[in-house]
Structures are given as C-alpha cells and as structure tokens.
Amino acid sequence: MNKHTLGAGLLLCTLAGCAGSQGSPTAYLSYRDEPLVAKVELDMNKQQVLEIGGPPSGEMPRSVSPGSCLDYILTRDGQPQAYHVSLDSAGRVDGKGFATCEQMESNARARARAPYGIGGGGGGY
C-alpha cells in the first residue's frame, strides 16, 4: 500500500469519526417523525422553519460560508438529541442534521482545510 493511499484512508477515517459525533444512525430512526426532521426541507425559508420547529434554543452565524445556523434540542423519552438547521446567506435551508451548529461548523472547517485530491488516485506512481 503506498503512502498516499494510506494517508487518504486515515483522513477518511478521521472525518468519519467526526461525522459519528453528530449522532448515531439510530438518532434518525428515533426522531424521524419529529416535525423538524420530517418536514423541514432544503430551500425552505427561515420563517417556514420557525413555523415547523418553533424558536430554536440558539442561533449562530456561520464562519465557513455566509449564513446562520439554528440549534434545536429534540427530546424523546427524556433523552436530548442535538439537531441543527443551516441557512445560507439568503435565509434558505441548505443543510440539517443531528449535530449542534458548532459541531457542523467544526466539520465544515475541517473539510475546508483538507487537501485537494485526496483519493484522486493517479499521479504516475
């Protein structure tokens, strides 16, 4: 195995670990019927999100790309679960998931710093 392949594999494992901190696959199964999870769709505006999910527990500006992020805490059987809705600079939903806004931003910063060409193969080696 060459060094580039090994490096790419390690980076992917690291990024997968970051994604794992955003909530387990069972989080989706447990919370999929929650209005915020089931009804909020890409390109909705902020007002539509607020009508579905109510006021967020927090809101923060995004640092990697212009826009903002709404933090929500979903609760089922007394167990809290972080969930975010990300809005672009026009106030439209461009992402959502089982993570806090801070976790989502941290992952976006890591992706932005990742070198280009990872896993691209080739190179004549």
Residue 24's pLDDT is what? 63
Report pLDDT digits (tens) over 5-58.
Answer: 434 443 443 334 334 334 566 777 889 999 999 999 999 999 999 999 999 999
Cβ–Cβ < 8 Å for 109, 63: yes
Which CA distances in Å does 1 have to 8, 70, 124?
11, 43, 15
| Confidence class for position 114, pLDDT limits 50, 70, 90 | confident
- Name which residue leads in pLDDT, 9 or 76: 76
In a domain, 125, yes or no: no
In a domain, 122, yes or no: no
User: In total, how many domains does the chain have?
Assistant: 1
In a domain, 121, yes or no: no
The fraction of the chain above a pLDDT of 70, given in percent, is: 72
Residue 89's pLDDT is what? 97
In a domain, 62, yes or no: yes
> Which one, of 94, 87, 114, lies nearest residue 11 by Cα?
114
For residues 51-67, average pLDDT: 97
Q: Which domain holds residue 89?
A: 3-113
In a domain, 123, yes or no: no
